[in-house]
Amino acid sequence: MPDNRRPVALVTGGTRGIGRAVARRLAADGYDIAYCGRGESAGRTAELLTEHGAAHFYQACDVADGDEVGRFVKRVARELGPIDVLVNSAGVVRDRNLVMMPFEDWTDVIDTNLTGTFHFCRAVGFQMVRRRTGAIVNMSSVSGVHGHAGQANYAASKGGVNALSRSLAKELARYGVRVNAVAPGFIESDMTDELTEQAKERALAGIPMARFGTTEEVADLTAFLVSDRAAYITGQVLQIDGGISL
């Protein structure tokens, strides 16, 4: 990398929650940031990135559309330069017991969480292979490791992300590209804000650390994994869950 070029990170789902926290943390670490996500929240992310002096580029993108993803990735390279880091954080939840689950709730979750991750890994991974350098972090969930009742679609999508990450790590290691997954437990975010107080109390009762995690803590782990400090770590699914899976 030329000494005068800032590294570039692409963060999907970067307009809210964990994605926004990751984008902000990487900007603080000296990255320029490309991001996509819900348009109504894009401006707040831009403000946070500007505070850290990061150049940034936002564009709405349907992560489930491979052609749209390909165009977005090419646009990022034109606007900011080669992509050094990819963080796949875009995701949706449609919780319901499987026997009552509309097929659309299954396909929406799989298409966004798993197929969307595939599209970005393919498009950005191709660039990284050509340059023989890069780091990818795919946002998973403890649900994808252990499964949760009422989350068959979500657990399946995140379990797929874990398997995809491990397989891709084996494929890309020879090209100097590392791939890992981060599996959060209950994290304070807009998703957990939708839980009832009773649901939150039940969740807290199962967490040995007796609290929800923060998006900043997930961002810290992600920033470590894409850094040179994690140069010998690839193909891992790292849980950050306060001990809920013990």
Which are the catalytic amino acids?
A: 154
Strand order in the sheet with 8-12: 56-58, 32-36, 8-12, 85-88, 134-139, 177-184, 237-240
> Which 3 state secondary structure label does DSSP give 135?
strand
d(CA 172, CA 139): 18
HSE, CB side, 13 Å, CA atoms: give it for residue 225: 30
Token pair for residue 149?
A: 């009742």
Length of the chain: 246
CA distance 42 to 192: 21
User: Which residue is associated with the tokens 């900011």?
Assistant: 80
> CA-to-CA distance for 133 and 184, rounded, in angstroms?
26
**Non-local CB neighbours of 104 within 8 Å, separated by 6+ positions:** none
Distance from C-alpha of 84 to C-alpha of 127, rounded to nearest angstrom: 9
Q: What secondary structure letter does DSSP report for 2?
A: -
DSSP 166: H
Express the helix, strand and coil content of the chain in percent, nearest 5 each: 50, 15, 35
